Chains A and B, each alone.
Chain A
């Protein structure tokens, strides 16, 4: 278990600027640290690794204390056993893929080390490229080698700083699944920084939402994205609802496909994906219509019953979170809120056009 409480003040032009003030814990599995750029994600990650020294606070992983301003503990980066994967890979350019992985490998004997390196390269699926220099590898391959290199040093935790943002879109989806697979196989806890909601939902067991240097909400990724609890959280996650399900049926002559979301089904525009395919849908909060009565004859293909969970007023709009078995956020005007007498516990119906459901990569 990783425990982090850190504060760090940054000065800009002599005045007090951005302040990091984060407290959170991360368990086994993959914890996603999500936030806009400049929200303090990278500084947090680097503080854990020992690359940045916070002004105050405490960082510990299980039994080992990394940093404690009260007792003046600041463990050297070498002793933290923290693996770090950068966005731009940073493979040592003068070494081959295998040499890069061997660089941090713990094993003593040569043959043992070689076996360990082979094993790691195989784990991330680039054993065919072991003799290549980084310059000869694609972005995706380089990131796989970087992952293997970090894992070969047998870290107690792996920190990944937007590892896929420099990788092309098609490789990205595959690599995401592979990262999850590697995490399950090794059992090492991963702390994964990203600003992509789709990635966060796909990979995260737990999500930490960061805004302006603070953790503003945390929980299961889908719940955090679709049901922000406060205005800063709502602003960070944006207006997109994210739903994960699988393709259940096709009616091409009707121009629709049906997605099973577990708690309910969603009609979407026809897609050419095999039944059973995993799919991530996005529905913008402002594209959902709320009705107090069940509407029967409407062009909206989805009618979902639910209750109001809570309402957040942010400037000139209201974000309503509805509990429909799954959480969905809906953006309405204050006028609509008053006219429909919406309040927590009120029963409502959500109307969603099929064409408002788009597929997230």
Chain B
């Protein structure tokens, strides 16, 4: 099937660049460090970053509409806190999970409604949401709460064997399912396409009769849901709740999206991107772990550097796109009209 025929071809460049980066980094690690080139090391990327993949995927939809969600990291911390305290109080594990997801959905819907209804900048609304969620987690307790609930412990320790004795966690399975669903939504549903249209030109989208309001709110609902799901997965991974968990994680999620080729200006990007972004960052972290002598803060330096490179790359491509030749109608006789990709046109035609 000629899948790429439908897509936004320019974006393949970003995805290819990110994939090349992953191969390069992984190749470097494999050569430099013994034991790096193992299936389990690779699978651990998913296990250790499952929550981030989920959150970044939710974030990607928001960014594609041209928005941003800064509340995700705090929301994950809040979910970890709420879960831990409710479990401590003796609630059933599955009930706690369901409640967590409901909190995320409500939180996202609230933010989305504000952003749409009062035409507020998402940056400021979700910043408020971030403070609210972070503060609320300390309201529950200022200390870390350890989770001893049997259901959580069991799920946490469960291993899903893929082949041989290589395994991934339940959290990683959830992450992969979320990514698959996200890719489907983005490509094959009206909601997904409306997200791209709004990111491209919100005024046009409105004039074309697209449900701008519903889509905007739903995008934040989806991000809230993903954050909550990420929160549940993270809680399972850590088996504790703490208000200081994941400080600044929203920035990691945004970085993952950018490295994965989601343009911050909206309208462009593939939903596999955030996962690739998270993996690049995960591999850097693993390399630094294997290296042993470098402080783990070097991960941040490397990611910072990568971001610069990727933002620059995206910018250059966008600028080139503006300058490049557009396809114009050829001078025609009679009724045959042909495209001619070679004719150039001055920049005011964009």
A and B interact physically: no
Q: Which residues of A contact B (CB under 8 A)?
A: none
Residue numbers of B with Cβ under 8 A of A are none
